[in-house]
């Protein structure tokens, strides 16, 4: 049985079914999920039937596409409704996305028109950590007792009346989280810490159910950002436990750190910071008047969840970047077909592929914080003349120094970026192709950028139905060719991009590298074979021993706290980290491993329960610190001088500077 064949189940339904099981049945739940996954599934309208055995059927009723009530899961066995089958089916099915907040929730901002770009996946980011102050922030995450959770007693004191001022004139105290929100954050922290304690192997259906219950409660308490992070953790845990080939440990590390970090900050955040920590269920769209837009390129979008479509990038007369998208379930086939469909924006009949080289005049425009153009009824759009990449206003995009572009992109791609943050992860470069370079992860195209910085260009998608891979191989056969390119930043210790679009090798027009296919006749020397460039010297980030901390952070996720507790002495690793100029990283590694190995005993010599909160606090600090330093090293790689700059454009991060 493929989990995708089952209808999504609301988080509260799964949690309720698991909580209703007896302790004996809970121990059998993971085995029941595995056994149920091998049974045949049939779908008839809104009802999905699973054959538990030759005589018993289990039904999931999903009106509207989602199993929203416990009564919608029924089983025909003799033990029903107290059987393990209902809970196992809910645990095997995908988790439904968060529902909109209850109607009584006050909305501080008016909701704009719905976007034409259907979200391929719902995710929540976190507030960016500036590496310039990464030492202080990482240390602040670990309290002196190392056992603290965000609790209702830790909220900042509400200031009283100011002497000499009337009540009407007294400044209003900053908004703080409610006691219910702090309690919901505590539950999220506890559930996340339990997952970290047990690791992927130990975080079965019961642990996932605790996360789902905490996520449901957080949504009801108007904490959609933390709730979304909890659902992401559950989805990744299930992918890891089922051997999904798309699963990556680094993604689960990021999701867990986002969950724990957001839950921790609910009690202390105030004002605008609290609004960012709470998050939003739906992106707000705000009016932006009339816009004159110039097409840049169109890229295919294919997600692991089975969604497909395209996203067309356009620029305004002032250089701002916007996107017009069309993404829905359908995979790569839909992505190729949608490129030639009309853009859903006003009355325009222009296709996405055409818009990437033409222009639009839009009135009544609405824009989300991340640059998505809304498609409400009040939006009007007509086709207009476009501009070449070498003409204003588009030419100005390539005039910004690459190091500044990389810093801007890092603010957008940061693993813990503010979900309402603005900015783009695109870079606009003029390069000279050098040839292909063999790397452990495959072959990429090496190019020389401004200031002599070598840039590695990779395919945005390896799906053979798309043109990315074949076009990259052809460009490798044209060393010495100068191109104007658009790529998406890949955070790494050396300059690296996924190549999305480029000027045509003949100098006429542009190429959407995911949709348009180059031919050998388009190259300056059509008969030339692929050229392999000589090895390039490693950048400053390659010298950093930060990986010693990163691998311990990642090692915790699949195996749990016990994996670090058995390491023993890590003095050699910490000594090497200190020699590399990262004393904070060395201190975090020492504290993390010591916390993992610490187990107290009572007067009779029996082991006491482990301090899961303290270990989670140290792990969170190490995860956030290593992510911030990695981003600083990436910024340094794009700087020809090799100087480490703060991701937020601040002063150099001394703690993140590797030894020379």
**Which of the four pLDDT bands, split at 50, 70 and 90, describes residue 158?**
very low
User: Hunting for tokens 């082991």 — which residue is that?
Assistant: 607
Cis amide bond preceding 15, omega within 30: no
Sequential DSSP letters for 117-183 = S--SS-----PPPPGGGHHHHHHHTS-SSS-----TT-SPPPP-PPTT--TTTSPPPPPB--HHHHH
- Select from 57, 40, 29, 30 the least CA-distant residue to 2: 40
CB atoms within 10 A of CB 53: 10
418-431 pLDDT, tens digit per residue, is 665 567 899 999 99
48-66 pLDDT, tens digit per residue, is 999 998 888 999 999 988 9
Opening angle at CA 320, ends 315 and 321, nearest 5: 55
What is the per-residue pLDDT for 110?
Answer: 34
Element (H, E) at 300: strand 286-302
State the average pLDDT for the chain. Answer: 82
62-113 pLDDT, tens digit per residue, is 998 899 999 999 999 988 898 999 999 999 999 987 655 443 333 333 333 3
CB 182 within 8 A of CB 143: no
As a whole number of angstroms, the distance between CA 137 and CA 537 comes to: 33
**Structure-token pair, residue 463:** 């799906």
* Mean pLDDT calculated for residue range 643-650: 42
Sequential DSSP letters for 21-36 = S-HHHHHHHHHHHHHH
Indicate whether 653 pLDDT > 50.
Answer: no
**Structure-token pair, residue 591:** 């504290």
What is the per-residue pLDDT for 639?
Answer: 84
Q: What is the CA radius of gyration of the chain?
A: 26
Indicate whether 32 pLDDT > 90.
Answer: yes
Most confident listed range (170-174, 179-183, 534-538): 179-183
What is the per-residue pLDDT for 4?
Answer: 62
As a whole number of angstroms, the distance between CA 184 and CA 393 comes to: 49
Q: Is 601 helix (H, G, I), strand (E, B) or coil?
A: strand
Q: Is 350 helix (H, G, I), strand (E, B) or coil?
A: coil
Residues in Cβ contact with 30 at an 8 Å cutoff, skipping those fewer than 6 apart: 204, 205
| DSSP strands (E only) in 422-562 | 426-439, 442-448, 454-459, 482-489, 496-503, 510-512
What is the per-residue pLDDT for 537?
Answer: 59
**Which of the four pLDDT bands, split at 50, 70 and 90, describes residue 197?**
very high
**Structure-token pair, residue 422:** 């603005």
Element (H, E) at 290: strand 286-302
As a whole number of angstroms, the distance between CA 569 and CA 100 comes to: 49
Residue of 112 and 454 predicted with greater confidence: 454
Residue of 12 and 645 predicted with greater confidence: 12
**Which of the four pLDDT bands, split at 50, 70 and 90, describes residue 21?**
very high
Segment among 36-50, 175-189, 202-216 with least mean pLDDT: 36-50
**Structure-token pair, residue 601:** 């005993």
Characterize 237-272 residue by residue with b for buried, 16 or more Cβ atoms within 10 angstroms of its Cβ, and e for exposed: bbbbbeeeeebebebbbbbbbbbbbbbbbbbbbeee
């Amino acid at each position: 049985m493929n989990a995708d064949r089952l209808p999504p189940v609301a988080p509260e339904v799964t949690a309720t079914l698991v909580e209703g099981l007896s302790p004996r049945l809970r121990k059998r739940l993971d085995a029941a999920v595995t056994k149920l996954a091998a049974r045949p599934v049939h779908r008839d309208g809104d009802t999905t039937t699973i054959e538990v055995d030759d005589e018993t059927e289990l039904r999931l009723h999903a009106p509207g596409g989602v199993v929203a009530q416990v009564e919608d899961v029924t089983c025909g066995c003799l033990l029903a409704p107290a059987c393990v089958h209902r809970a196992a089916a809910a645990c095997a099915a995908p988790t439904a996305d968060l529902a909109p907040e209850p109607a009584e929730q006050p909305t501080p901002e008016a909701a704009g028109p719905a976007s034409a770009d259907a979200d391929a996946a719902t995710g929540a980011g976190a507030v960016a950590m500036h590496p310039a102050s990464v030492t202080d922030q990482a240390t602040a995450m670990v309290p002196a007792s190392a056992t603290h959770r965000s609790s209702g007693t830790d909220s900042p004191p509400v200031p009283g009346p100011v002497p000499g001022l009337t009540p009407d004139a007294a400044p209003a105290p900053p908004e703080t989280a409610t006691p219910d929100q702090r309690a919901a954050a505590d539950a999220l922290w506890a559930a996340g810490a339990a997952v970290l304690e047990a690791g992927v192997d130990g975080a079965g259906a019961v642990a996932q159910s605790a996360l789902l219950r905490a996520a449901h409660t957080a949504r009801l308490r108007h904490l959609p950002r933390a709730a979304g992070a909890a659902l992401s953790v559950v989805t990744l845990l299930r992918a890891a436990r089922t051997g999904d080939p798309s699963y990556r440990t680094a993604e689960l590390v990021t999701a867990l750190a986002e969950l724990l970090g957001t839950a921790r900050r609910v009690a202390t955040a105030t004002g605008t910071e609290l609004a960012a920590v709470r998050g939003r269920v739906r992106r707000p769209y705000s009016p932006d008047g009339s816009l004159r837009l110039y097409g840049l390129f169109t890229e295919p979008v294919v997600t692991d969840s089975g969604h497909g479509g395209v996203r067309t990038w356009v620029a305004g007369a002032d250089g701002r970047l916007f996107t017009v998208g069309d993404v829905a379930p359908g995979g790569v086939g839909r992505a190729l077909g949608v490129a030639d469909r009309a853009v859903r924006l006003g009355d325009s009949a222009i296709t996405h592929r055409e818009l990437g080289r033409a222009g639009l005049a839009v009135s009544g425009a609405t824009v989300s914080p991340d640059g998505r153009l809304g498609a409400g009824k009040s939006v009007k759009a007509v086709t207009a003349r476009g501009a070449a990449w070498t003409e204003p206003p588009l030419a100005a995009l390539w005039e910004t120094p690459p190091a500044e572009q990389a810093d801007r992109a890092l603010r957008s791609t940061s693993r813990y970026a503010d979900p309402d943050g603005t900015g783009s992860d695109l870079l606009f470069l003029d390069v000279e192709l050098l040839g292909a370079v063999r790397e452990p992860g495959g072959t990429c195209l090496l190019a020389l950028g401004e200031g002599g910085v070598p840039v590695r260009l990779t395919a945005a998608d390896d799906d053979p139905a798309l043109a990315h891979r074949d076009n990259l191989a052809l460009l490798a056969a044209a060393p010495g060719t100068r191109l104007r390119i658009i790529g998406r930043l890949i955070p790494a210790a050396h300059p690296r991009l996924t190549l999305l679009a480029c000027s045509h090798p003949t100098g006429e027009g542009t190429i959407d590298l995911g949709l348009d296919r180059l031919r050998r006749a388009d190259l300056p020397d059509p008969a030339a074979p692929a050229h392999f460039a000589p090895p390039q010297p490693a950048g400053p980030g390659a010298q950093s021993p930060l990986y010693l901390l990163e691998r311990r952070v990642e090692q915790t996720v699949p195996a749990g706290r016990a994996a670090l507790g058995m390491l023993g002495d890590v003095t050699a690793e910490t000594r090497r980290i200190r020699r590399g100029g990262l004393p904070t990283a060395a201190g975090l590694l020492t504290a993390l491993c010591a916390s993992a190995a610490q187990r107290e005993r009572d007067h009779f010599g029996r082991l006491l329960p482990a301090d899961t909160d303290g270990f989670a606090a140290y792990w969170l600090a190490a995860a956030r610190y290593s992510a911030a330093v990695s981003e600083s090293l990436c910024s340094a790689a794009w700087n020809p001088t090799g100087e480490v700059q703060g991701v937020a454009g601040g002063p150099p991060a001394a703690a993140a500077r590797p030894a020379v």
